[in-house]
Amino acid sequence: MAPQSAKVPAMASNGSALDDSNPGGPPSGLSAIRTQYTSEQSVRQMLKNTGYDEAREDGYRLKGIQLIDSVRESLQLPVKTFDTAAIYYHKFRTRFPSNEYNYEDVALSALFVACKAEDTIKKSKEILCAAHNFRQPHDHKTPDDKIFEAPSRFTVGLERHILETIGFDFHVQYPQKLLIKMVRRMFPRGGSNEQDEGQRFLHVAYDMSIDVYKTFAPIKQTTFTLVLAILELTALLMDTDSGRASQFKTSAAFHTERACIIETILDLLDLYTQFPKSTKIGSRFDLNKLMDVKININNQVAKEERQRYYRWCDRCVPEALDARSVTPGSATSPATTRKRAASEGTQRFVFDADAARREVDLVAGYFNDEYEEVEVEEPLKEPEPRQSNRNSHPQRAHGQNHGEYGWPGYYRNSRHGPHNDRQRSRRGHGY
């Protein structure tokens, strides 16, 4: 019996051995790695790319979050569903212009996707019916009404855009659970007065954890940063004993930085001073009190020589885009993004950055074109001698043009030239 020959692995064109278990195939498409957090500078740049109007977009942001919160309370959904829907709503608005999608449709679609992500499933018609009954309480409807059929299909259609916006990354932070634990740590069980103070403190801090989602802080900061900022700002507004909050001053123990906490506090103060009626906490405190706290925080930032926003780069700020040049068919439009994705490959979302880099390097070995430079000497043609007499040219073939010998071209007969040709035939025109 002949011995079996050992299999020699095949060699690729670039010299690397081919793996039969994972053969090389067509390019895997476009790989997108989603990040859970972003910076203030990146958020502003994305909004500028959509050609947003600052005053109008602030109103859409507040109205959209208020609609999500109202529908969530009407359907008795948990607060974690509200947190998820608010983050999806913010991420969608930073990518698509508001003139392409109504903020109410986006808010309800974000809540619809959040209900699936948090396992609090509600049908799209139930969400639309709750929103309709909230906006028009005198016209009460049921989810099986026919008026919700077309909006229901549109809501389901927006679901795909929301999933692409979040990159199929459903990780969302929930600060309320951690906030309750830290408030209990600040106010341990003791006398009745201490318990009452702790309940009042928690009531304000919990509502502030809802208001923080009316800013872009949840897509910029971690859970610990949000909770520490809420605790510190609540203690400043309620004049709570500084010793209770001193145990949370060490930001490094909570995997965050002091600059991030200050940025979140100032985001909340900007919200309360500019839009107090659109928040739960802004109308409870006097505006002068809010302004005094904001001035003290700004003085602290100036004293410590910190920046208003964490890791803000003044040299990286691009010039402001002209909103008049942005049209609905811009680079962020779904119509253009679908065409671009279809021409370049399938869009894929990867959660492991190292695995994505290894995949790109592996695929590049099969599709990179390498060329070898070869020098070839070509003989130069000697120029033909020019004729001294322009009339002594060789006999031309029949129908050959004068332009080939340096004479301006003309047509011998008007039948062979254009109707309005200026250079008429010499025959019959005074020649």
pLDDT averaged over every residue in the chain: 76
Who contacts 219 (Cβ-Cβ below 8 Å, separation ≥6)? 37, 38, 43, 87, 90, 91
What is the reported pTM?
Answer: 0.68
pLDDT digits (tens, 9 = 90+) for 281-339: 988 999 999 999 999 999 988 888 888 888 787 777 654 444 333 333 334 444 334 43
| Range scoring the smallest mean pLDDT among 26-35, 149-158, 271-280, 347-356 | 26-35
pLDDT digits (tens, 9 = 90+) for 365-394: 777 777 777 787 878 777 777 765 555 555
Contact in structure between 217 and 203 (CB atoms under 8 Å): no
- 252: confidence class by pLDDT, cuts 50, 70, 90: low
Contact in structure between 41 and 316 (CB atoms under 8 Å): yes
Who contacts 61 (Cβ-Cβ below 8 Å, separation ≥6)? 90, 93, 214
Q: Does the structure show a pLDDT above 70 at 272?
A: yes
Tell me which of 198 and 203 has the higher pLDDT: 203
Q: How many residues does the chain have?
A: 431
Tell me which of 240 and 105 has the higher pLDDT: 105
Average pLDDT over residues 399-413: 51
Residue 239 DSSP one-character state: T
Give 3-state DSSP helix, strand, coil % of the chain, rounded to 5: 55, 0, 45
pLDDT digits (tens, 9 = 90+) for 8-59: 444 444 444 445 555 455 445 566 666 777 888 888 888 888 777 777 888 8
pLDDT of residue 8: 46
For 398, other C-beta atoms within 10 Å of its C-beta total 4
Who contacts 217 (Cβ-Cβ below 8 Å, separation ≥6)? 226, 229, 263, 264, 267, 268
User: Count of alpha carbons within 13 Å of 346, Cβ hemisphere only?
Assistant: 6
124-135 and 54-74 helices, crossing angle to 10°: 110
Paired with 31 in beta bridges are 348
- Report d(CA 164, CA 155) in Å as an integer: 15
384: region left, alpha or beta (phi > 0 left; psi from -120 to 50 alpha)? beta
- 353: confidence class by pLDDT, cuts 50, 70, 90: confident
| Identity at 11, one-letter amino acid code | M
pLDDT of residue 335: 37
pLDDT of residue 361: 78
399: region left, alpha or beta (phi > 0 left; psi from -120 to 50 alpha)? left
Q: Could you tell me the sign of the dihedral formed by the alpha carbons of 259, 265, 266, 271, in that order? A: positive
Contact in structure between 125 and 152 (CB atoms under 8 Å): yes
- Report d(CA 124, CA 144) in Å as an integer: 11
Structural domains in the chain plus CATH codes: 40-171+327-351 (1.10.472.10), 175-303 (1.10.472)
| Range scoring the smallest mean pLDDT among 128-132, 167-171, 221-225, 289-293 | 167-171
Q: Which residue has the tokens 């928690």?
A: 202
pLDDT digits (tens, 9 = 90+) for 212-244: 999 999 988 889 999 999 999 999 998 887 777
Contact in structure between 155 and 105 (CB atoms under 8 Å): yes
Q: Could you tell me the sign of the dihedral formed by the alpha carbons of 275, 280, 284, 290, in that order? A: negative
Q: Which residue has the tokens 């602030």?
A: 58
- Report d(CA 89, CA 65) in Å as an integer: 8
- Report d(CA 113, CA 118) in Å as an integer: 9
Average pLDDT over residues 88-104: 86
Q: Does the structure show a pLDDT above 90 at 193?
A: no
Q: Does the structure show a pLDDT above 60 at 420?
A: no
Q: Which residue has the tokens 């060789």?
A: 394
For 335, the token pair is 């119509």
Cα 405 versus chain centre, distance: 64
Alpha helices in 187-286 (DSSP H): 192-211, 223-237, 242-245, 258-274
pLDDT of residue 408: 54
